[in-house]
Amino acid sequence: MDSAVSDVSDATRGVSDSPLVAAPEEPMQPWQADRTRAPIATKIVVAGGFGVGKTTLVSSVSEITPLQTEALMTEASEETDDLTGTPDKRTTTVAMDFGRITLDDDLVLYLFGTPGQQRFWFMWDDIVRGAIGAVVMADTRRLKDCFPALDYFESCGLPYVVAVNHFDGSELYEPEDVREALTIPAHIPVMIMDARRRISVIETLLSLVGHALDETPE
Protein backbone atom coordinates (compact mmCIF):
# COMPACT_ATOMS: atom_id res chain seq x y z
CA MET A 1 0.00 0.00 0.00
CA ASP A 2 1.22 3.42 -0.93
CA SER A 3 2.34 5.81 1.79
CA ALA A 4 2.80 9.55 1.70
CA VAL A 5 5.81 11.24 3.26
CA SER A 6 5.67 14.94 4.05
CA ASP A 7 8.83 17.02 3.71
CA VAL A 8 9.70 19.30 6.62
CA SER A 9 11.34 22.63 5.89
CA ASP A 10 14.49 23.76 7.68
CA ALA A 11 12.57 26.64 9.23
CA THR A 12 10.07 24.37 11.00
CA ARG A 13 12.14 21.28 11.72
CA GLY A 14 13.39 22.51 15.07
CA VAL A 15 9.96 23.69 16.19
CA SER A 16 8.22 20.44 15.37
CA ASP A 17 10.69 18.57 17.57
CA SER A 18 9.78 20.63 20.62
CA PRO A 19 7.73 18.77 23.26
CA LEU A 20 5.68 21.95 23.79
CA VAL A 21 4.20 21.80 20.31
CA ALA A 22 1.01 19.75 20.11
CA ALA A 23 0.65 17.11 17.42
CA PRO A 24 -1.70 17.96 14.53
CA GLU A 25 -5.29 17.17 15.44
CA GLU A 26 -7.68 15.13 13.32
CA PRO A 27 -9.90 17.42 11.18
CA MET A 28 -13.24 18.03 12.86
CA GLN A 29 -16.28 16.64 11.08
CA PRO A 30 -19.44 18.78 10.61
CA TRP A 31 -21.45 16.65 13.01
CA GLN A 32 -18.74 17.07 15.66
CA ALA A 33 -18.90 20.88 15.50
CA ASP A 34 -22.71 21.07 15.64
CA ARG A 35 -24.07 19.00 18.50
CA THR A 36 -27.64 19.38 17.18
CA ARG A 37 -26.70 17.22 14.22
CA ALA A 38 -26.51 13.68 15.49
CA PRO A 39 -24.57 11.51 13.02
CA ILE A 40 -26.17 8.48 11.42
CA ALA A 41 -23.83 5.71 12.52
CA THR A 42 -23.83 2.48 10.56
CA LYS A 43 -21.83 -0.70 10.95
CA ILE A 44 -20.28 -2.39 7.91
CA VAL A 45 -18.61 -5.81 7.89
CA VAL A 46 -15.72 -6.59 5.54
CA ALA A 47 -15.36 -10.33 4.98
CA GLY A 48 -13.70 -12.78 2.63
CA GLY A 49 -11.00 -15.39 2.41
CA PHE A 50 -7.54 -15.42 3.90
CA GLY A 51 -5.22 -12.76 2.43
CA VAL A 52 -7.85 -11.21 0.14
CA GLY A 53 -7.17 -7.63 1.29
CA LYS A 54 -9.59 -6.91 4.13
CA THR A 55 -7.00 -5.20 6.32
CA THR A 56 -5.77 -3.17 3.35
CA LEU A 57 -9.32 -2.01 2.56
CA VAL A 58 -10.01 -0.80 6.09
CA SER A 59 -6.61 0.89 6.35
CA SER A 60 -6.83 2.70 3.02
CA VAL A 61 -10.17 4.34 3.72
CA SER A 62 -10.22 4.91 7.49
CA GLU A 63 -10.06 8.56 8.62
CA ILE A 64 -8.74 7.45 12.01
CA THR A 65 -5.75 5.28 12.76
CA PRO A 66 -7.26 1.84 12.17
CA LEU A 67 -7.27 -0.79 14.88
CA GLN A 68 -5.47 -3.86 13.60
CA THR A 69 -4.89 -7.22 15.25
CA GLU A 70 -2.14 -8.46 12.98
CA ALA A 71 0.15 -11.24 14.20
CA LEU A 72 3.23 -12.72 12.61
CA MET A 73 2.62 -16.04 10.94
CA THR A 74 4.62 -18.94 12.33
CA GLU A 75 5.33 -22.55 11.43
CA ALA A 76 2.40 -23.58 13.62
CA SER A 77 -0.06 -22.34 10.98
CA GLU A 78 1.58 -23.99 7.98
CA GLU A 79 -0.92 -26.82 7.85
CA THR A 80 -3.98 -24.59 8.21
CA ASP A 81 -3.15 -21.39 6.28
CA ASP A 82 -2.80 -21.88 2.53
CA LEU A 83 -0.23 -19.40 1.22
CA THR A 84 -0.35 -20.63 -2.37
CA GLY A 85 -2.02 -17.46 -3.61
CA THR A 86 -0.22 -15.12 -1.20
CA PRO A 87 3.37 -16.41 -0.85
CA ASP A 88 4.69 -13.08 0.47
CA LYS A 89 2.15 -12.76 3.29
CA ARG A 90 3.86 -12.58 6.68
CA THR A 91 1.06 -11.46 9.04
CA THR A 92 -2.58 -12.37 9.58
CA THR A 93 -5.60 -10.89 11.36
CA VAL A 94 -6.35 -12.83 14.54
CA ALA A 95 -9.35 -10.84 15.82
CA MET A 96 -10.63 -8.02 13.62
CA ASP A 97 -9.81 -4.76 11.87
CA PHE A 98 -11.65 -1.56 12.77
CA GLY A 99 -11.86 1.80 11.04
CA ARG A 100 -14.17 4.77 10.53
CA ILE A 101 -15.10 6.93 7.57
CA THR A 102 -17.54 9.88 7.39
CA LEU A 103 -19.63 10.13 4.23
CA ASP A 104 -22.10 12.83 3.20
CA ASP A 105 -21.33 15.16 6.16
CA ASP A 106 -23.09 13.20 8.90
CA LEU A 107 -23.20 9.60 7.69
CA VAL A 108 -20.54 7.67 9.61
CA LEU A 109 -19.54 4.16 8.62
CA TYR A 110 -17.78 1.95 11.15
CA LEU A 111 -15.86 -0.80 9.39
CA PHE A 112 -15.24 -4.19 10.99
CA GLY A 113 -12.94 -6.57 9.12
CA THR A 114 -13.36 -10.25 9.94
CA PRO A 115 -10.51 -12.78 10.17
CA GLY A 116 -10.43 -15.03 7.14
CA GLN A 117 -9.20 -18.36 8.48
CA GLN A 118 -11.71 -21.06 9.36
CA ARG A 119 -10.42 -21.38 12.92
CA PHE A 120 -11.65 -17.82 13.63
CA TRP A 121 -15.13 -18.19 12.16
CA PHE A 122 -16.64 -18.60 15.63
CA MET A 123 -16.18 -14.82 16.05
CA TRP A 124 -18.32 -13.86 13.07
CA ASP A 125 -21.67 -13.85 14.88
CA ASP A 126 -20.42 -11.26 17.35
CA ILE A 127 -18.72 -9.10 14.72
CA VAL A 128 -21.76 -9.09 12.41
CA ARG A 129 -24.31 -8.25 15.11
CA GLY A 130 -25.88 -4.84 14.38
CA ALA A 131 -24.39 -4.44 10.90
CA ILE A 132 -26.48 -3.06 8.02
CA GLY A 133 -24.52 -4.99 5.41
CA ALA A 134 -21.28 -6.61 4.36
CA VAL A 135 -18.62 -6.35 1.68
CA VAL A 136 -17.53 -9.83 0.59
CA MET A 137 -14.08 -9.54 -0.97
CA ALA A 138 -12.94 -12.00 -3.61
CA ASP A 139 -9.71 -12.83 -5.44
CA THR A 140 -10.22 -14.26 -8.94
CA ARG A 141 -7.17 -16.50 -8.48
CA ARG A 142 -8.98 -18.36 -5.67
CA LEU A 143 -12.68 -17.61 -5.86
CA LYS A 144 -13.59 -20.62 -3.74
CA ASP A 145 -12.16 -18.86 -0.67
CA CYS A 146 -15.11 -16.44 -0.57
CA PHE A 147 -17.79 -19.16 -0.60
CA PRO A 148 -17.98 -19.46 3.22
CA ALA A 149 -18.64 -15.71 3.54
CA LEU A 150 -21.26 -15.80 0.79
CA ASP A 151 -23.00 -18.77 2.42
CA TYR A 152 -22.90 -17.06 5.81
CA PHE A 153 -24.54 -13.82 4.70
CA GLU A 154 -27.06 -15.62 2.53
CA SER A 155 -28.10 -17.78 5.47
CA CYS A 156 -28.41 -14.89 7.95
CA GLY A 157 -30.13 -12.58 5.44
CA LEU A 158 -27.66 -9.69 5.76
CA PRO A 159 -27.41 -7.53 2.60
CA TYR A 160 -24.03 -7.79 0.93
CA VAL A 161 -22.09 -6.82 -2.18
CA VAL A 162 -19.22 -8.70 -3.81
CA ALA A 163 -16.01 -6.73 -4.37
CA VAL A 164 -13.30 -8.37 -6.47
CA ASN A 165 -9.94 -7.08 -5.29
CA HIS A 166 -7.79 -6.85 -8.41
CA PHE A 167 -4.19 -7.82 -7.61
CA ASP A 168 -1.23 -6.79 -9.76
CA GLY A 169 -0.44 -9.53 -12.25
CA SER A 170 -3.83 -11.24 -11.99
CA GLU A 171 -6.21 -11.50 -14.93
CA LEU A 172 -8.94 -8.85 -14.98
CA TYR A 173 -12.45 -10.24 -15.37
CA GLU A 174 -15.75 -8.50 -16.00
CA PRO A 175 -18.18 -8.29 -13.04
CA GLU A 176 -20.73 -10.42 -14.87
CA ASP A 177 -18.15 -13.16 -15.37
CA VAL A 178 -17.51 -13.19 -11.62
CA ARG A 179 -21.25 -13.17 -10.94
CA GLU A 180 -21.71 -16.25 -13.12
CA ALA A 181 -18.74 -18.06 -11.58
CA LEU A 182 -20.02 -17.47 -8.05
CA THR A 183 -23.73 -17.82 -8.98
CA ILE A 184 -24.51 -14.45 -7.40
CA PRO A 185 -28.17 -13.35 -7.75
CA ALA A 186 -28.81 -10.56 -10.24
CA HIS A 187 -29.93 -8.02 -7.62
CA ILE A 188 -26.64 -8.17 -5.68
CA PRO A 189 -23.96 -5.68 -6.86
CA VAL A 190 -20.66 -7.15 -8.07
CA MET A 191 -17.77 -4.77 -8.72
CA ILE A 192 -14.07 -4.75 -9.48
CA MET A 193 -12.00 -2.68 -7.04
CA ASP A 194 -8.51 -1.99 -5.73
CA ALA A 195 -8.37 -2.15 -1.93
CA ARG A 196 -5.30 0.11 -1.95
CA ARG A 197 -7.16 3.02 -3.56
CA ARG A 198 -9.34 5.11 -1.27
CA ILE A 199 -11.75 6.25 -3.98
CA SER A 200 -12.24 2.66 -5.16
CA VAL A 201 -13.11 1.55 -1.63
CA ILE A 202 -15.50 4.48 -1.11
CA GLU A 203 -17.37 3.55 -4.30
CA THR A 204 -17.74 0.02 -2.98
CA LEU A 205 -19.04 1.23 0.40
CA LEU A 206 -21.54 3.58 -1.26
CA SER A 207 -22.79 0.71 -3.37
CA LEU A 208 -23.30 -1.39 -0.25
CA VAL A 209 -25.15 1.38 1.60
CA GLY A 210 -27.46 1.87 -1.39
CA HIS A 211 -28.06 -1.87 -1.70
CA ALA A 212 -28.77 -2.20 2.03
CA LEU A 213 -31.34 0.62 1.83
CA ASP A 214 -33.02 -1.09 -1.11
CA GLU A 215 -33.13 -4.40 0.76
CA THR A 216 -34.32 -2.95 4.08
CA PRO A 217 -36.00 0.41 3.25
CA GLU A 218 -37.69 0.68 6.64
Report whether pLDDT(5) > 70: no
Considering 34-48, 54-68, 82-96, the range whose residues carry the highest mean pLDDT is: 54-68
pLDDT confidence of residue 7 = 42
Between helix 198-215 and helix 54-61 the angle, nearest 10°, is 100
Report whether pLDDT(83) > 60: no
Give domain 29-215's CATH superfamily: P-loop containing nucleotide triphosphate hydrolases (3.40.50.300)
pLDDT digits (tens, 9 = 90+) for 143-201: 999 999 999 999 999 999 999 998 888 888 999 999 999 999 999 999 999 999 999 99
> DSSP secondary-structure letter at 56?
H
Report whether pLDDT(3) > 70: no
What distance lies between CA 88 and its chain's CA centroid? 20
Instruction: Establish how many alpha carbons lie within 13 A of residue 99's alpha carbon, considering only the half-sphere containing its beta carbon.
Output: 25
Q: What are phi and psi of 46, to 5 degrees?
A: -115, 115
For the entire predicted model, the pTM comes to 0.72
pLDDT digits (tens, 9 = 90+) for 60-80: 999 998 886 555 544 544 555
pLDDT digits (tens, 9 = 90+) for 16-39: 344 444 445 666 666 566 655 667
pLDDT range class, residue 84, cuts 50, 70, 90: low
Closest listed residue to residue 60, CA positions, set 145, 2, 124, 137: 2
What CA–CA distances, in Å, run from 46 to 13, 114, 140? 40, 6, 17
pLDDT confidence of residue 190 = 98
